[in-house]
Amino acid sequence: MTVQTTTCCSTCNFAENPPSARFCGNCASPLPLHCFSCGAANPPGFRFCGTCATALIEYVPAATTRRVVTILFADVCNYTNLTNRLGAEHMYSLLDPCLRRLGETVRRFEGTIDKFTGDGLMAVFGMPVALEAHAAQAAYAALAMFEELAAYNETIAHAGVQFQIRVGLASGEVIAGLLGSDRYSDLTVIGGPVNLAARLQQVTDAGTIMVDDDLAQNLQQNFVFSEQHTVSLKGFEQPIAAAILAGKQLSQTVVDGSFALPLIGRDAELHNLIGATELLHNGMGGVIGLTGRAGVGKTRLTGEIIQHLHSRDVKVLVNDCSSATRIVPYSAFLGLIRQLFQIDHADSAATMHHKIQLLIHELGNMPLDLMPYIEYLLSLDFIDQSLAERVQHLDAAQLKRHVFLAIRELFVACTRQQSMAIVIDDVQWADDLSLELLEFIAETFDASSLLLYLVARDDETPQIRQTFNRILAQARQRGLVLELNSLSTEAAEALIKQILPQASAVMIEHLVRQADGVPFYLEELARHALHAGLDIQAQSSDSLQMPTMPLSLQALMRSRYDRLPTDLALSLAIASVIGRRFSQQLLSQLRPEQPISEQLQQLQQRGFVQPVANHHDDWSFSHLLLQETIYASLLHQQRHMLHGEVALALEAQAGEHPELYIDALAYHFSHSQLTHKALEYLLLAAQRAASRFANDDALRLYDQALPLLSALEPPIPEHGTSLFHGRGDILSFVGRYDEARVAYQQALGMIQPMPENEATHATILRQLAATYEKQGNYDEAMQHLEQARLVLADGALLDHARIDCDAGWIAFHRGNLDQAERLLNNALTISELNNHHGLQALAANRLAGTFWQRGNLKGAQALVNQSLAVSRYLGDLPAMSRALNNLGVIAMELADWHAAANYYEQSLETTQAIGDLNGQILAINNRSHCMMMLGSFNDALRFSQMAYRLARQIGAKLHMATALIQQGTISFYVQDYQRARGYYLQAEKLYCELHHYDPKRVIIAEMLGRIAFVEGRRACANRMAKRAIRLAKQLDEPQSLFRSQVLQIYLQAYNGQRREASEAIDQLLQLSLNNNYLLALGLTIGATIKRLNGDYTVALAHQERAEILFEQMNTPTMLREYV
């Protein structure tokens, strides 16, 4: 369609008047009105076009925009032959009225003629004003064109000519805008559907309408189609599925809506939900999960529940999640915390601090000081520096655990004063940390009257139901998960009657069928019926002037949006960029020339937005689909521009405290073209997510930043180092060591060789070394540690002490206890002198390992307790878990299996809470050993298999070997010797691959020797005994040496060397040994040897002493036998 973009004044010939002008800008004479349909000029005062009778409006061409439309191409068949036969003039006289009538048919169904093509036309349905039923209206128009053509053919029958046409239809997203010169341009559309519709029209037969299969599927309830078939089209690489539109099944009309109405058709669901809330009145907590597709009525039903809870004096906190904040850690809880403390966006940091302090004081004494963690969560500057110190010493894992505990304790404390319900909507958009925290909170419902009421759409994220079921399981099944389905036909009809009391049965039937039982769709359709002026009392579908079957709700909402005045529409578009929830203050900053408060009131009246309860400055779209629909209509370039404006406005609003908006700033800048700022805030947001232990969120943010880094000209090395270093830390922590090493190497490649970068350089090398150490590759680890020393040169002693600590730990694993003790002692001393508690705890814990290896359990226990005390002071959860694990190891050496199991359980809970896979594997392996020593062989095997799977997942071969040894030992005691031997040999193979010397290799040799003895392979048993002794002497580890010598003496006795064996066992039993279980086994062997020598008195004494030790340890019968 041709649109004149300037108007020439007939009085003074001034030609630069804009098309919206009513008077000449040069002489003030009235200007003609141009018809936006045919382009004809009409004198001032005309209400209708004198050329085509279209209503005249002061039409301003729309800005370039993204639209979902249906394209129609119609072409007169056999045009060339007819022209040759009739002549051009006669053909023109027949074709012109034909095309005019076809064009009028298109307009009758609200289509727009894009262009006439000589022997046909192109029409668009859904542009310039969006149509919610553009596909259905295009299909109706296509069918009506054939009816119109048949009527026209009757009028020209005398000329011996019968026109035939063929039609192609396709729907999809296009770009709509002006193409042309400064003075004249075409408002047209460009996109795949245009090409597809044109090609379909070219290949279909005369007298048919061909549509693409997707469109046919959407229209099949109301139109009849032939069976699907494929066609090859020019310009399309693959064949296209298509169908022939044969006719209509039922005519439809078009509507929209959104009302506050009585709850209809939800009695059973309401009864079940109210019943679940009764848990609160019995002093207990619970979980309610409500799922369903968009618009099915979850929010409406939740409103009833909230009213019920208020009537029962329950405190209700409400928050909603959104896709824009999915990467924001704790996004589901931040709004709840602000509501609880009555914090307003306008509050100063001091005011917020006071409000937090006041409520915590009112709640009374609690086991955990909540202040630092609540203020940290809300990104406040610490007014009290003592609170800051409590947080600054914690790493991400520790901080996460403390934040979890703080939030849970806060809610539990509130329930001591009043029952409380937490309502969270759109949980499908919640970040991973929020979901994990919900499960954590659900464990407290035995002792608190707290209700979690969670609402989520399950049409896009069906796995959300599994998440809800997990949370319900944590709550011991107190509550329910309810899926909300569509309304029944009867309920849907009743709802329509509430909205449109005067509607006829025909209208109700149309609306109910169109909405498919979804209340929100019903309301939207009804609103449109009123706004569009439809005959709601129509007695037949034929009398309805417009089809009522929208192709999608997006088109329906877009049609409402397009009817807004320009200023309102632009404000709403900017709001959609901000997000579903937006600040009036921010919107005012972006549109300072507009009366935003008044506009929001108007938009609220029209059903687009609504104020957020208890937040005077906050508004939200009345439905997420509204915001998504409006946002989707913007071109990518428009989105980039608006996101940039939003980000800059937020940055200005934040002033000197951008940390308050880091996540929002990262989101908006990353969707803009302001690359430098996008990269800067993405890195800050990733670092904050990592500090809150939101590993997946942090990785997503780093991944978003990666392409921006390469796009910078010139590149900024500091940003590159920060990105790859941070990414490497997260990958290493979650056990993805190969990827972590790649990231660390990339970080090293970005570091500039300057003195101020030496500490960072050395730190990355240390962390790179740690990835090798955790997989048992000690040579590579030591090479990188030596590089770190060279980089530091004369650097700070504390930095060198960190390297000593890591190198000492590797020496320990290699069995070089003297070197390990020297390095770890040095690290411990320097950390104490520099008052660095974190390094002190780590060094003490590792040094305890050398004491334990030498059999000095008392010294080891003292060091571990020192480490545990320091870790608890710092709130260092990873260090605490390591110390608890080591206390378990010491308890096992003392054969106190129950104490050991308790320590391991505490360690496992901590490592699971912080996501430390290495720590989890260690605790699970050790717990498996405890289960075996307590006689629970099935549990022991289950834990050991779990540890092996986790270790294999992260490539931790040492942990894999430990798990295999444990499985071998379990198999040995249940007399499955073949399987036991297989496990031991697999473990030995792993140690050989790693060139690793470990006391557990002595166990492998000894157990293989015992298996060989049972199977009668004495020579093999002797070889294994000698190997075990050789390894034990290399390791200089007392318990390993004891085990290997017991086996050798036992074999001596059965090889005929009874006297030598008797003397040897007497000497061995004189040694001091801290492990009562090994001592008892040695006494059992001694009793056996004494009996073989006929010394029954000594044999009996040894046996009685062994039995006393076994009884003290509650050792299972099977474990009391050597073979």
Mean pLDDT lowest among 56-70, 208-222, 826-840: 56-70
Reduce the secondary structure of 866-877 to three states and give it as a string: HHHHHHHHHCCH
Which range is least confidently modeled, 27-31, 322-326, 420-424, 433-437? 322-326
Query: Between the CA atoms of 543, 546, 552 and 557, what dihedral angle is there, to the nearest 10 degrees?
Result: -120
Question: How confident is the model at residue 258, as a pLDDT?
Answer: 35
Residue 34 is predicted with a pLDDT of 63
The reported pTM is 0.61
pLDDT tens readout for residues 62-91:
467 778 889 999 999 988 888 888 888 888
For 987-993, what is the mean pLDDT? 89
218: left (phi over 0), alpha (psi -120 to 50) or beta: alpha
pLDDT above 60: residue 549: no
pLDDT of residue 251: 36
Nearest to 847 by CA among 832, 834, 835: 832
Q: Exposure string (b/e) for 1024-1058, b if CB count within 10 Å is 16 or more?
A: bbbbbbebbeebebbbbbbbbbbbbbbbbbeeeeb
- The pLDDT value recorded for residue 143 is 93
pLDDT the model gives residue 764:
95
pLDDT digits (tens, 9 = 90+) for 713-726: 777 889 999 999 99
pLDDT at 547: 39
Residue 102 has pLDDT above 50, yes or no: yes
What are the pLDDT digits (tens) for 14-64? 666 665 565 666 655 667 766 655 566 777 656 566 666 655 543 333 467
545 closest CA partner among 144, 192, 163: 144
- Provide the pLDDT for residue 60: 38
Top mean pLDDT of 2-6, 514-518, 968-972 is at 968-972
Percent of the chain with pLDDT over 70: 87
Q: Would you say residue 323 has pLDDT above 90?
A: no
> Residue 988: pLDDT band by 50, 70, 90 thresholds?
very high
CATH 1.25.40.10 holds for 1002-1123: yes
Does the pLDDT at position 259 exceed 60?
no
- Using the predicted structure, report yes or no on whether residue 689 has a pLDDT greater than 80: yes
- Calculate the average pLDDT of the chain: 84
CATH node for 563-634:
1.10.10.10
What letter represents residue 94's amino acid? L
Q: Given phi > 0 = left and psi -120 to 50 = alpha, else beta, which region is 244?
A: beta
Look at residue 687 and tell me whether its pLDDT is greater than 70. Answer: yes
Q: What is the predicted pLDDT for the residue at 368?
A: 63
Specify the range with the lowest mean pLDDT, choosing from 243-252, 304-313, 540-549, 854-863: 540-549
Beta strands 420-425 and 450-457: pairing type? parallel
Rounded Cα gap, residues 595 and 14, in angstroms: 35
Supply the pLDDT for residue 867: 92
**What's the whole-number mean pLDDT along residues 1045-1069?**
88
- Over residues 1086-1106, mean pLDDT: 90
Q: How confident is the model at residue 429 (pLDDT cuts 50, 70, 90)?
A: confident
pLDDT band at residue 874 using 50, 70 and 90 as cut-offs: confident
pLDDT of 431 higher than 90: no
Would you state the pLDDT for residue 540?
57
Architecture of domain 267-483: 3-Layer(aba) Sandwich (3.40)
Tell me the mean pLDDT in the region 850-876: 88
- Domain definitions of the chain by residue range: 1-60, 66-248, 267-483, 563-634, 1002-1123
Mean pLDDT in residue range 568-592: 92
Please state the rounded mean pLDDT for residues 800-820: 91
Q: 188: pLDDT confidence band, cut at 50, 70 and 90?
A: confident
Partnered with residue 1013 across adjacent β-strands are none
* Phi, psi (deg, nearest 5) at residue 211: -125, 155
User: Which amino acid does the sequence have at 433?
Assistant: L
Q: Which fold has domain 66-248?
A: Alpha-Beta Plaits (3.30.70)
Identify which has the larger pLDDT, 2 or 930.
Answer: 930
1055 confidence band (pLDDT: 50, 70, 90): confident
Please determine, for residue 3, whether its predicted confidence score (pLDDT) is greater than 60.
Answer: no
Supply the pLDDT for residue 722.
93
Residue 174 near residue 67 (C-beta atoms within 8 A):
yes
345 pLDDT band (50/70/90 cuts)? Answer: low
Environment class of 626 (CB within 10 Å of its CB; exposed 0-12, middle 13-18, buried 19+): buried
Mean pLDDT of the region 320-342: 79
Give long-range contacts, CB 8 A cutoff, 24+ apart: 612-619.
Answer: 612/581, 613/318, 614/339, 615/344, 615/345, 616/344, 617/344, 617/345, 617/346, 617/583, 617/584, 617/585, 618/345, 618/581, 618/582, 618/583, 618/584, 619/575, 619/581, 619/582, 619/583, 619/584
Task: Express each pLDDT in 903-938 by its tens digit.
Answer: 999 999 888 877 778 889 999 999 999 999 888 999
Residue 670 has a pLDDT of 93
Tell me the backbone φ, ψ of residue 365, rounded to 5 degrees: -65, 140
pLDDT of residue 545: 45
